Structure 1
Amino acid sequence: MNAPSTTIRKGRKYDDVLEGARRVFMTDGFEGASVDDIARAAGVSKATLYSYFPDKRLLFIEVATTECALQAEKGISDIDMTAPPREVLTRTGKHFLSFILSQLGGQIFRICVAESDRFPEIGQAFYKSGPMLIRDVMIHYFNGAMERGELRMDDPGLAADQFAELCKADLWTKKVFGIQREFAADEITRIVDGAVDTFLARYGV
């Protein structure tokens, strides 16, 4: 699976291939995932697997971006973007933090970081499918909130980045370094509430 092709074909076995690959990548990582194991997990032949994804990088990118996009879209669809800032920020922060602290979110992040030096397109695709999508939505929300007189800021993009970093305080560091693996709802609430209070102290009207 080292061909440089960037072509992805979708057909009736596409979802099976994607789900099988997701299970293998999350267990074995990008480097450890073998074509044989992915094909077996997907219930398809190697020839079928190659016909969909001629390059393992393409397959992992598709798995990672699909998962991140689903999570981002789920979080966005559940939020009323005309609601007051505290409500929008709290719900967005909890969804964001819950995903990056989840087993799936952590595994995707670690694999993307581990492989991004050799294959920068993996990290770039991950960023575009999740973090950048959420960032763009928050910028759009901030602009609307400023028009309604609810927020005041000069750089909505910077503010979106700052809010994401505030939500990663304490727990994300523990997750990355393996200090803590499970996180209770009240721990997430504590961090997000603190992030929202700090953010509104700076940008609230």
Structure 2
Amino acid sequence: MSDLNEIARSKDLPSSAEDGAESAKRRQILEGARQVFLARGFNGASMGEIAKVAGVSKGTLYVYFESKESLFEALTLEERQSLAEVLFKLDAEDPDVRAVLSKLGDSYLRYMGRPEHISSIRMVVGAAEQFPRLGRSFFEAGPCQGIARLKAYFDRQVEAGRLSIEDTGVAAQHFLDLCVSGLMRRQLFAVGGPPTEAEIRKNVENAMRVFFAAYGPGVQKH
């Protein structure tokens, strides 16, 4: 938001109502960009089409975002950070760790299996070789945020004696990978649709069994 503040200052805009209008316009642009990127992919999207779908002039679009890359990066950061806040809102004091992780696994797998999420991953992978910063931004705003939040939750559970983990960061990655095991790879290659209720339930159950076999309370470490 610092860039927008600089824009506002350069135009001598008031800091209350005008800032609200700036924020609303920015959200309008991001929503238009999201629609175009999902429909066209990163390489197929153009700033002209994004401006049209967002309902703004091309000149206005460039006031907020200097390039397609910066627009995509901003969209990625906002959406992934919001997602992490919603999915990984974990109660560290809840003593029923199995219930907490089961709920997380279910919601995480449901989101990861959404067609628009799969499209986003394909789009980022396709653009990352040409624009490595896009891949890094996507990774840091999404997977890294989720792992960090789950790691913090595991740290508290280890302190409380509810889990036995030496490296909580690795354990967080293990749990999330176990949840999506097999299903996400299938979708990335367009083999079958989103996971069914039965597949979600089975994957989460398997993830819980393997995770607690490795990290449950009292498990001996070598």
TM-score normalised by length of structure 2: 0.84
> After superposition, where does 1:22-171 map in structure 2 within 5 Å?
22-77=34-89, 79-83=90-94, 84-171=96-183
- The gaps in structure 1 that reach 5 residues or longer are 1-6
Q: Residues of 1 paired with 2:67 and 2:4: CA distance?
A: 12
TM-score normalised by length of structure 1: 0.91
Indicate conservation of the 8 Å contact 2:46/2:68, yes or no.
no
Instruction: Tell me the amino acid that sits aligned with residue 93 of structure 2.
Output: T
What RMSD in Å do the two structures reach over aligned CA positions? Answer: 1.5
Per the alignment, residue 19 of structure 2 pairs with none
Per the alignment, residue 198 of structure 2 pairs with 186
Max Rg structure: 2
Per the alignment, residue 4 of structure 1 pairs with none
State the Cα distance separating 1:35 from its structure 2 match: 1.4
Indicate conservation of the 8 Å contact 2:124/2:134, yes or no.
yes
Residue 14 in structure 1 maps to residue 9 in structure 2:
no
- The gaps in structure 2 that reach 5 residues or longer are 6-21, 218-222
Number of residues of Structure 1 aligned to a counterpart in Structure 2: 198
Q: Which moved more, 1:112-121 or 1:81-90?
A: 81-90
State the Cα distance separating 1:140 from its structure 2 match: 0.8
State the Cα distance separating 1:24 from its structure 2 match: 0.2
Indicate conservation of the 8 Å contact 1:9/1:53, yes or no.
no
Per the alignment, residue 9 of structure 2 pairs with none
> Counterpart of 1:154 in 2: which secondary structure?
coil
Q: Which moved more, 1:38-47 or 1:87-96?
A: 87-96
CA offsets, 1:37-96, max 9 Å, x none? 10110000000001100111110111122221222111123x323222211211221222
Q: Residues of 2 paired with 1:95 and 1:81: CA distance?
A: 18
> Counterpart of 1:9 in 2: which secondary structure?
helix
